[in-house]
Amino acid sequence: MHSVFPEKIELLVDGRWVQGSERNTAELVNPATAEVLTEIPLAGVADLQRALDASVKGFSVWKEMTAAGRCEALRKAAELMAADKERIATILTMENGKPLAEARAEIEFSVEALQWYAEEGKRAYGRMIPGRLENQRQIVLKEPVGPVAAFAAWNFPAANVVRKIGGALGAGCSLTLKASEETPGTAVAIARCLEKAGLPEGALQLVFGVPDEISSYLLASPVIRKVSLTGSTAVGKLLQRRAAETLKRCTMELGGHAPVIVHHDADIEKSVAVLIAAKYRNAGQVCTSPTRFYVHQDLYTPFVQLFAEKAAHLKLGNGLEAGTQVGPVITRRRLAAIESLVRDAETKGARLLTGGRRIERDGNFFAPTVLADVPSSARILREEPFGPVASIMPFSHFDDVIERANSTPYGLASFVFTRDAALAQRTELALEAGLVGVNNTAISAPETPFGGVNESGYGSEGGIEGLEGYLRTKFISEVF
């Protein structure tokens, strides 16, 4: 097939780039144009078994290297990624749809995250505890848990992948990664950087295929000691059940339904500016995307007006075109799901202020949408919209807004806007969430822990907690 897509999609197994042994393929489609970009090879059982065997071999070599040696390889890979930023960002936009500026920022984040994990791997410290016996040394060692299987969603094709690669390899584990079939090119480009940086064979495998078949096969194997997923809560529960059979440990970065509380004293202009950028980033397909906006009744009308006005002026288009602020959603299936949530809210009494419809053109475009006065019976207040839709509601009492903010099973991100530090603190402590942004939405950096509570999952990616998830503890008592 002739393709202008700037990456050849292959599987990486045991240090070699291969096509699937069964020669099955799928099409990669550009969500902004509906064009077929290229073909994706799908792994069969033989490829997965080779990946498992290779991950055992790769683990034995990688874990025996010095932490400084592993750091060097990962830092080199990060340098190669930085040098290839423009090309990888273009691939990312072609397959995911997000504006090129967002894709570039994501590559910059990913380079930093890889550098950070590279360094932090040198600080996987244990400790010494004073002995109780004569000449006794009590030593706490931190060891890599073993071969890891990881599954990454398509919404951050670079960052989701690099967080898993950085955490696992930084800790000295080997990794078999199933990146998303919607965005394979970015993952391949990143894996090539690691391979060129001199990673030992088998330390990293990259596969694509039928997701359920891949997780069934990999998770049934006792070889895999840890599972890491960025994906939906439903898939998280399925993988955790599979992991339970051989008691693998899990890190689960799952869905969210982030509440925003705008208190009576918030700066309307500043909070709207910050929230518009956060809401429509990646067309709302972000697990931490602000989704349920609870605005104090004193500010409600001007806040809603300004928010809707700004949303209506966002420029929708192909992410490769200059000036585009909002790209397409990932699949046509998502368009229908978002549309159905908006119709349901309208039917139940919500006011549609802007958007609310798909755009009739090639590609999966949904207009930036604002719903006001959304009643609590609307499905959109419980189901993750994962699209460019904001639901805004008034509130008047603290306890009431906290109860509403905490009313979903999710608990990932939450946001608070106020000038009152004491009120901010009361709100921060009352929210059921793994992440709280106060007067800002910058809740994810390489050095900070990122993760949810309740049905948003558990465990962190990023920060020392991110590395800790790939380490196990050994206690040694020595007497000489």
- What is the closest distance, in whole angstroms, from the C-beta atom of residue 364 to ligand NAD in the complex? 14
Q: How far apart are CA 99 and CA 89, in angstroms?
A: 9
**Sign of the Cα pseudo-torsion (426, 430, 434, 438, in order):** negative
Q: What is the largest CA-CA distance in the chain?
A: 79
Query: Hey, how many other C-beta atoms are within 10 angstroms of the C-beta on 49?
Result: 16
Round to whole Å and give the CA distance between 304 and 268: 10
Of 55 and 155, CB closest to ligand NAD: 155
CA distance 254 to 19: 30
**CB of 136 vs ligand NAD, minimal distance in Å:** 43
Q: Which of 253, 384, 455, 461 is catalytic?
A: 253
Q: Residue with the closest Cβ to ligand NAD? A: 231
Annotated catalytic residue within 195, 287, 384, 468: 287
Residue closer to ligand NAD by CB (options 231, 363) is 231
Active site residue 287: yes
Distance of closest approach, residue 459 Cβ to ligand NAD, in angstroms: 10
Minimum separation from the CB atom of position 159 to ligand NAD (A): 9
Q: Among residues 210 and 268, whose Cβ is nearest to ligand NAD?
A: 210
Nearer CB in complex with ligand NAD: 388/452: 452
- The number of C-alpha atoms within 13 Å of 170 and in the hemisphere containing its C-beta is 32
38 DSSP assignment: E
Residue 465 designated active-site: no
Closest CB 73 distance from ligand NAD, rounded Å: 26
Interface ranges with ligand NAD (CB under 6 A): 151-155, 180-181, 211-212, 215, 230-232, 235, 238, 253-256, 287, 384, 386, 412, 452
Distance, in Å, from the CA atom of 398 to the CA atom of 426, rounded to the nearest integer, reads: 10
Contact 250, 452 (CB under 8 A): no
Beta strands in 96-203 (DSSP E): 127-130, 136-144, 148-151, 175-178
Pick the closer one to ligand NAD by CB: 73 or 287.
287
- Taking CA atoms, 136 is separated from 8, 440, 473, in Å, by 57, 51, 19
Catalytic residue IDs = 253, 287
